[in-house]
């Protein structure tokens, strides 16, 4: 009786406190984000025939007549995309011809491959000469500095970690009291691992002067919600069953965290990364081929493979390889050959997913492909053509596939199909209505009894049990990751990191939109997971690994984050 009374009062208070902490966490993240500044460094200078000094502020700089080039030469004999100037760690500067009409020469000798440069070398672009020089102190003034009304106050990342820690502990106690009579063993263990894990990670990262953990902290927040969702299965699985699910989820997160650190280490070496791109692409196609041959169907899609007691979705890991292989350095991405190779690779991946009838994953890959193509080429005619073909293909799938047709028929009219194809969406909408702003408390909802509640409908579970403030804070985390990716891309050392981080953020954002808006009938229900929050080992493991692209982009900045 005493514990019942304690739980009643604790639940009443903790619902408010958790929502307040979630809001504070988002606001503190924004403060930390706004407090960051990039010091623009002049790495080299190109001196023109007229004596003008053109600052080089990036490790990869395109030279051409186009306004989007980093170094613009408004001359009729210069191609729109003429050359790329690249700094290679341990080697120095080199220049590449990107298929220009007039060619590139170094010290009077025409080049046909990336050529090393020394200070004082003469670069000739179709008859127009430039000279590479080391920067002087006064060259810093050549860089245009953005106008700022006032200098932002320095925000504390320690406060961000502390807010997250309080959120985790209060959430854990709420769930422990709720399931006090039949508490899963791994409930407190999982939350304590997340609590100490994020604090330890922040401490080690700070001592090593690593990049600010602006990507990792939202992921720990989302992982906390994911672990809480696991515990709500208690109503139908029992303590032993929930402990098994939480153990699997925690193990996947731990394995993903280790793999995240490994990939981050690899990505710091740009040369090694470039060498591994084709291997990653081959591995992706190999995984999809294995899935086509040995995979089995679940919920209408043949996207699972069994290896003994382990089941996994190969498409989740192909996402990592797709980004890894799809991004490219500037001197590669400005060539038509590389763009065509990427289009062929993308078509093979999306086609394989279509054969598996995993159309949700195919849509995610398509959007990621379009993000990469927009950054790589910027050719809107190519983009419009691909979009038109994809639209025609999607329309054909809707007409041909019966189960897809049913979902589109119910889209926007789920209450007319409340007992059939709109059942999951209507139950989700009812659950959201009952949850309100603060929720009914962890484990007190009913949506977890509906099929796929912990995966496809997880947004509704979070909304019902912990309220709209926390559910919308979860969505805000993905928007903030996209904003952070945009910031990192603007000053990345290499186009590879800019493309990779934007593709990763776009993939997360679109997948989350499909999950949350599909469950609420804003978009058709596609059956995709919400990264980090939905229950599932493959999704959690792969999502953690993808965060390495954020950390690598933060590390490989043209000038340090301060």
* Per-residue three-class SS string for 214-249: CCHHHHHHHHHHHHHHHHCCHHHHHHHHHHHHHHHH
Q: 65 and 196 share a domain? A: no
Give the pLDDT confidence of 375-385 residue by residue, as tens digits. 766 666 767 77
Pick from 472, 481, 476: nearest CA to 19: 472
- Residue 191: partners with Cβ closer than 8 Å, 6 or more residues away: 168, 169, 171, 172, 175, 224, 227
CATH label of the domain that carries residue 50? 2.60.200.20
The answer on 547 and 479 residing in a single domain is yes
Q: What is the pLDDT of residue 480?
A: 96
Are 166 and 91 found together in one domain?
no
Q: What's the confidence (pLDDT) of residue 90?
A: 76
Instruction: Please say which residue of 86, 103, 134 terminates a domain.
Output: 134
Distance in angstroms between the alpha carbons of the first and the last residue of the chain? 54
Residue 335 pLDDT level (bands cut at 50, 70, 90): low
424, containing H or E segment = helix 423-435
Say what the pLDDT of residue 365 is: 92
**Best mean pLDDT range from 18-27, 121-130, 284-293, 361-370:** 18-27
The dihedral over CA atoms of 25, 31, 34, 39, expressed in degrees to the nearest 10, equals: -100
* Spatial separation of the C-alpha atoms in residues 219 and 551, rounded to whole Å: 12
What is the predicted pLDDT for the residue at 10? 96
Using one digit for the tens of pLDDT, what is the confidence trace for 55-110? 888 888 888 886 667 888 888 888 888 888 988 877 889 998 887 888 899 998 99
Residues 6+ apart with CB under 8 A from 12: none
Give the integer Cα–Cα distance in Å for 479 and 254.
24
Q: Is residue 188 scored above 70 in pLDDT?
A: yes
Identify whether residues 129 and 267 lie together within a single domain.
no
Report the pLDDT averaged over residues 193-221. 93
CB 117 within 8 A of CB 92: yes
CA dihedral 140, 144, 146, 152 (to 10 degrees): 0
Query: What share of the chain in percent tops pLDDT 70?
Result: 88
Q: Does residue 283 lie in a domain region?
A: yes
The CA–CA distances, whole Å, from 532 to 142, 222, 223 equal 44, 6, 5
Residue 151 lies inside a defined structural domain of this protein: no
Q: Which residue intervals of 327-422 are DSSP H helices?
A: 330-333, 336-355, 359-376, 380-400, 402-410
Closest CA relative to residue 71, chosen from 89, 96, 93, 53: 53
Residues 98 and 167 in one domain: no
CB 349 within 8 A of CB 365: yes
* 395, 456: one domain: yes
311 lies in the same domain as 450:
yes
Of 134, 169, 190, the one marking the end of a domain is 134
Q: Between 234 and 447, name the one with better pLDDT.
A: 447
Rounded Cα distance, 213 and 200, in Å:
12
| Tokens (6 digits) for 299 | 């919920």
- Asked if 449 and 397 sit in the same domain, the reply is yes
Q: What is the mean pLDDT of residues 161-185?
A: 93
In a domain, 141, yes or no: no
Q: What is the pLDDT of residue 199?
A: 95
Domain assignment of residue 510, yes or no? yes
- The one-character DSSP state at 77 is T
**What's the rounded mean pLDDT across residues 430-436?**
94
The answer on 60 and 15 residing in a single domain is no
| Six token digits for residue 476 | 């805000």
Instruction: Identify the CA nearest to 329 among candidates 498, 115, 97, 99.
Output: 498
Considering the domain boundaries, does residue 336 fall inside one? yes
pLDDT of residue 280: 92
Residues 6+ apart with CB under 8 A from 34: 152, 155
Return contacts of 110-115, CB within 8 angstroms, 24+ apart: 114/86, 114/331
Domain housing 130: 44-134
Whether residue 413 is found in the same domain as residue 540: yes
Together in a domain, 352 and 407 = yes
Q: Which of 324, 146, 210 is nearest to 554 (CA)?
A: 210
Residue 255 has pLDDT above 90, yes or no: yes
Tell me the average pLDDT across 140-145: 63
Buried b (16+ CB within 10 A) or exposed e, 59-73: bbbbbbbeeebbbeb
Residue 312 belongs to some domain of the structure: yes
Domain boundary among 134, 168, 194: 134
Strand partners, 45: 55, 133
Mean pLDDT of 515-532: 92
Q: What is the pLDDT of residue 294?
A: 84
CB atoms within 10 A of CB 517: 16
* DSSP notation for 545-559: HHTHHHHHHHHSBSS
> What would the pLDDT profile of 469-519 be if each residue is shown by its tens digit?
999 999 999 999 999 999 998 888 888 899 999 999 999 999 999 999 999
242: pLDDT strictly greater than 80 = yes
Model pLDDT for residues 436-480, shown as the tens digit of each residue: 999 999 989 999 888 888 899 999 999 999 999 999 999 999 999
Identity of the highest mean pLDDT range in 21-35, 83-97, 335-349? 21-35
- Asked whether residue 274 is assigned to any structural domain, the reply reads yes
Per DSSP, 561 falls in state B
| pLDDT at residue 227 greater than cutoff 90 | yes
Query: DSSP code of 41?
Result: -
Handedness of CA 491, 497, 501, 502 (dihedral sign): positive
Residue 539: predicted pLDDT: 93
In whole angstroms, give the CA distance from residue 266 to residue 367: 26
The mean pLDDT value for 357-362 works out to 86
User: How crowded is the C-beta side of 143, counted as CA atoms within 13 Å?
Assistant: 21
Please tell me the total count of domains within the chain.
2
Specify whether 231 is located in the same domain as 95: no
Confidence (pLDDT) at 537: 87
Residue 562 is assigned to a structural domain of this protein: no
Residue 6: the pLDDT is: 92
Q: Which residues of 76-112 are buried (b: 16+ CB within 10 A; e: fewer)?
A: eebbebbbbbbbeeeeebbbbbbebeebbbbeeeebe
Q: What is the pLDDT of residue 561?
A: 45
**Which pLDDT does position 504 carry in this prediction?**
96
């Amino acid at each position: 009786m005493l514990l019942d009374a304690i739980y009643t009062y604790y639940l009443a208070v903790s619902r408010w406190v958790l929502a307040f902490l979630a809001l504070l966490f988002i606001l503190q993240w924004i403060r930390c984000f706004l407090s960051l500044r990039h010091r623009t460094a002049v790495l080299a200078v190109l001196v023109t025939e007229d004596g003008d000094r053109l600052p080089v502020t990036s490790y990869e700089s395109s030279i051409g007549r186009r306004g989007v080039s980093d170094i613009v030469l408004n001359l009729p004999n210069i191609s729109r995309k003429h050359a790329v100037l690249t700094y290679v760690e341990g080697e120095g500067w080199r220049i590449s011809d990107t298929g220009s009409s007039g060619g590139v020469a170094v010290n009077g000798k025409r080049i046909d491959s990336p050529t090393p440069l020394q200070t004082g070398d003469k670069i000739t672009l179709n008859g127009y000469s430039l000279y590479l020089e080391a920067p002087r102190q006064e060259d810093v003034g050549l860089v245009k500095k953005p106008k700022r009304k006032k200098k932002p106050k320095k925000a504390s990342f320690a406060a961000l970690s502390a807010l997250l820690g309080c959120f985790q502990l209060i959430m854990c106690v709420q769930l422990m009291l709720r399931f006090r009579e039949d508490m899963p063993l791994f409930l407190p263990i999982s939350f304590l691992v997340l609590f100490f894990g994020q604090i330890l990670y922040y401490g080690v990262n700070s001592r090593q002067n690593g990049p600010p953990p602006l990507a990792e902290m939202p992921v720990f927040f989302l992982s906390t919600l994911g672990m809480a969702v696991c515990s709500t299965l208690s109503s139908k699985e029992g303590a032993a069953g929930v402990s098994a699910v939480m153990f699997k989820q925690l193990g996947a997160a731990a394995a993903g965290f280790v793999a995240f650190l490994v990939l981050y280490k690899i990505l710091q070496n740009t040369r090694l990364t470039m060498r591994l791109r084709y291997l990653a692409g081959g591995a992706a196609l190999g995984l999809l081929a294995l899935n086509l041959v040995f995979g089995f169907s679940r919920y209408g899609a043949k996207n699972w493979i069994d290896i003994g007691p382990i089941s996994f979705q190969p498409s989740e890991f192909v996402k990592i390889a797709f980004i890894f292989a799809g991004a490219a350095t500037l001197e590669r991405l400005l060539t038509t050959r590389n763009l065509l190779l990427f289009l062929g690779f993308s078509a093979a991946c999306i086609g394989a997913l279509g054969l598996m009838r995993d159309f949700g994953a195919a849509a995610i890959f398509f959007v990621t492909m379009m993000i990469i193509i927009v950054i790589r080429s910027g050719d809107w005619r190519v983009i419009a053509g691909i979009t038109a073909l994809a639209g025609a293909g999607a329309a054909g799938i809707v007409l041909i596939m019966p189960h897809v047709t049913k979902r589109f028929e119910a889209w926007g009219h789920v209450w007319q199909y409340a007992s059939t194809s709109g059942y999951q969406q209507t139950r989700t909408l009812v659950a959201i209505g009952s949850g309100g702003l603060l929720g009914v408390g962890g484990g007190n909802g009913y949506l977890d009894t509906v099929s796929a509640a912990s995966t496809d409908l997880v947004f509704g579970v979070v909304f019902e049990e912990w309220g709209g403030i926390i559910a919308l804070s979860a969505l805000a985390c993905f928007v903030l990751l996209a904003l952070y990716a945009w910031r990192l891309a603007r000053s990345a050392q290499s186009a590879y990191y800019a493309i990779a981080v934007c593709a990763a953020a776009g993939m997360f954002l679109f997948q989350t939109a499909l999950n949350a808006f599909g469950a609420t009938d804003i978009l058709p229900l596609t059956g995709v997971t919400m990264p980090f929050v939905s229950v599932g080992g493959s999704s959690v493991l792969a999502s953690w690994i993808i965060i390495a692209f954020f950390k690598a982009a933060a590390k490989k900045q043209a000038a340090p984050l301060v």
